[in-house]
Chains A and B, each alone.
Chain A
């Protein structure tokens, strides 16, 4: 009997602790500006999420050491979404209503950045997404979302860059595509690569899909081999890139490979150094650009790890926020959103000039990187015509 009563008590405790835990009010609000961050700290994209949060923490420490912004210290409140849209909505609600942040940085997936829009609208807090490349993150049905911004270029652009570079610079006429049918990023890039490449007079000779989590790509690659393309487009993440490129070389496919910003990672080179030799990919920046060396060194110094791609983008998101804060003169989320619309700064990933009707960084050039001798060698900045 008492066991039953105890378990009842436990249940009610669990249920009610939800309400009680949410009532802690902020006591130290006057001297700090709270900034939210959300992204994957757990799950398959945790590497990138953790790097983002680390970067934000490091930059805020540096800014605070120099006296902060508007005489106040910056404080980051980071929550995990595990890449789940539902969690992202919960986190957005928590950040805006409980923690009362002035701006949210992240998330790094489009799938999380899209559903938080109504929450941002209701609470009038702006969000700067890092690598959410789906066009619908900031614009829907031709209308711009007032509180959604981003620092990266978008999928159509990236797909067009890859296709344009292949058609105009590498002068190839036929391409094959291997893509992940279960992944939003991969589907997006495939669609826009196909559109641009055919528009430029090229021909897609094979288009083969696989499912997230697959490790054997030989059946698809055999078909691609039979269609005899001049280039293979691989728009997915480094793990699958490493596996599929290795298997392609095993099957005797020698043509050039080209990919998107899912490629760059130390792991890719460790797993498939020889297979990806001579391949190209589209990136947000040149890793060897002198301007990013300082940041790279600072990060490595502090955390003992190499900075991932997301770190560079969240770095620029922080720059955008600080710039907007300085121009508004007060930490008011609505005014920050207005100020963000007029952003025109130089970040480490290029010039960031936010378009009023798109909330995307307009005209941001993509960097084309070639893998030579196991190193990422910058080729050129490229904008498709």
Chain B
């Protein structure tokens, strides 16, 4: 496959990994986060440190990055998840920016000047495999008892508390898994770019991830997949517009959000079953129409 298109697909895959995590937190547990770039940064820098400084193989390094990101999120979560509504969102925003600024000043990792020379381990195959594993795990989690509990928390916190769900615990689990996904995305990114710079994980990255989740449809995994693919490749497709590229990108997102406020998928999923249903529904309608005539 073409090197350029492959590159875009790898980037979509990396974004998808982070988006899947955020989808669990925002789409299924109902917590908005503007600090996921921070978790990506932690995962990325840890994984890169593992491969560069300790010569650990790629996959274990990614997992260590994910675990560290997850532990940091637990620390943040314990402190802030008791906050209700928008306050949690603001706390994550602060966390993301603080992470970036700390990395800006850690000379061990190159500081703001960046860290070049990370081995290029990320390739098309391993991104796809990791994404598929991530998808399967997430889909199963959401269908499990724990996933249903998270959805219950999203729908009505008080009611789920009354029916015996430990709301705080499920919020924390959701945040930790979500951060682990972001950590893996960060590790993949580090070994794809072969270069890390704190600037790559600024607030715009966090908002980009949140936009993808909402754009794809809150509470839909297939929506997140589509969102990541479409929104990562859109700026590249629009290259022909040169200076107006980002204006058109913004317009496209606004128009789609106005016409489909529930996002591309709006809570629906692509599964073999739902496809079948869609197909039969169409057929039925056509039959009805012809019968009516």
Query: Contact residues of A with B, CB < 8 Å?
Result: 1, 4-5, 7, 11, 14-15, 17-19, 21-22, 41-42, 78-80, 82, 84-87, 89-90, 93-94, 96-98, 110-111, 114-115, 117-118, 122-123, 134, 136, 140-141, 181-184, 186-188, 211
**Nearest CB of B to A115, in Å:** 4
Interface residues of B (CB under 8 A from A): 2-5, 7-8, 11, 100-101, 104-105, 111-114, 116-117, 120, 193-195, 197-200, 226, 229-230, 233-237, 239-240, 242-243, 245-246, 260, 264, 278, 281-282, 285
Residues of A contacting B2 in the complex (Cβ-Cβ under 8 angstroms): 22, 97-98
* A41 near B242: Cβ-Cβ < 8 Å: yes
Of B194, B230, B240, B242, which contacts A118 at CB under 8 A?
B194
| A211 cross-chain contacts in B, Cβ below 8 A | 101
Please tell me if the beta carbons of A187 and B230 are within 8 angstroms of each other in the complex.
Answer: no
Would B239 and A94 count as touching, CB distance under 8 A? yes
Pick 12 A–B contacts, CB within 8 A, sort by A: A11-B226, A15-B229, A42-B245, A85-B195, A85-B197, A85-B199, A86-B200, A89-B7, A111-B199, A141-B117, A183-B112, A188-B113
Chain A residue numbers with a CB within 8 Å of B230 are: 11, 14-15
How far, in angstroms, from A97 to B114 measured CA to CA in the complex?
Answer: 27
Residues of B within 8 A of A79 (CB): 239, 242
B7 — nearest CB in chain A belongs to which residue?
Answer: A93
Q: What residues of A have a CB within 8 angstroms of the CB of B100 in the complex?
A: 182
Contacts of B281 in A (CB 8 A): 1
Given contacts A42-B246, A211-B101, contact A98 B4 (CB under 8 A): yes
Q: What 7 pairs across the A-B complex have the smallest Cβ distances?
A: A184-B113, A115-B195, A93-B4, A18-B233, A97-B3, A93-B7, A184-B112
List B contacts of A42 (CB < 8 A): 243, 245-246
Cα A93 to Cα B105 with chains together (Å): 31
Q: In the assembled complex, which residues on chain A have CB atoms less than 8 Å from the CB atom of B229?
A: 15
B230 — nearest CB in chain A belongs to which residue? A14
What is the distance, in angstroms, from A223's C-beta to the closest C-beta of chain B?
A: 18
Contact (Cβ within 8 A) A93 B112: no
Given contacts A97-B3, A118-B194, contact A86 B117 (CB under 8 A): no
Give A82 to B111 CA distance when docked, in angstroms: 21
Of all chain B residues, which has the CB nearest A42? B246
* Contact across chains for B5 and A19 when beta carbons are under 8 A apart: yes
Residue pair B193, A15 in contact (C-beta under 8 Å) = no
Q: Which residues of A contact B237 (CB under 8 A)?
A: 14, 17-18, 21
With both chains docked as a complex, state the minimum distance between the C-beta of A102 and any C-beta of chain B, in angstroms: 17
Distance A212 CA – B64 CA, assembled complex (angstroms)? 31
CB neighbours (8 Å) of A97 from chain B are 2-4
Interface core residue of A18, A140, A211 (most chain B CB under 10 Å): A18
Known: A1-B281, A41-B243, A186-B112. 6 other contacts (CB 8 A): A15-B230, A15-B233, A134-B113, A136-B116, A181-B105, A182-B100
Instruction: Assess whether A82 is in contact with B5, with CB atoms less than 8 Å apart.
Output: no
> Which single residue of chain A is at the shortest CB-CB distance from B192?
A89
Alpha-carbon distance between A376 and B100 when the two chains are bound, in angstroms: 37
Give the distance in Å from the alpha carbon of A134 to the alpha carbon of B113 in the complex.
Answer: 8
A141 to B52, CA, bound (A): 12
Are the C-beta atoms of B260 and A7 separated by less than 8 Å? yes
Q: Across the interface, do A22 and B105 meet the contact criterion of CB distance under 8 Å?
A: no
Whole-angstrom distance between the alpha carbons of A96 and B198 in the complex?
27
| In the bound complex, CA of A111 to CA of B198 (Å) | 10
Measured in the bound complex, the distance between the Cα atoms of B193 and A117 in whole Å is 10
Q: In the bound complex, do residue B4 and residue A90 qualify as a contact, i.e. CB atoms below 8 Å apart?
A: yes
Bound: A283/B3 CA distance, A: 39
The interface residues of chain A lying within 8 Å CB-to-CB of B117 are: 136, 140-141
**Cross-interface CB contact of A5 among B195, B233, B282, cutoff 8 Å:** B282
Question: A114 contacts which of B111, B195, B233, B240 (Cβ < 8 Å)?
Answer: B195
Q: Nearest A residue to B247 by beta-carbon distance?
A: A42
Known: A90-B8, A140-B117, A184-B113. A115 touches B194 (CB 8 A): yes
Could you tell me the distance between the alpha carbons of A146 and B104 in the complex, rounded to whole angstroms?
29
The answer to whether A140 and B5 touch across the interface, beta carbons within 8 angstroms, is: no
* Chain A residues closer than 8 Å to B240, beta-carbon distance: 21
Q: A1-B281, A5-B282, A80-B242 are in contact. Are A114 and B116 (CB under 8 A)?
A: yes
Knowing A85-B193, A86-B200 touch, does A110 contact B113 (C-beta < 8 A)? yes
Contact check, B3 vs A87: say whether CB atoms are below 8 A apart. no
A232 to chain B, nearest CB (A): 21
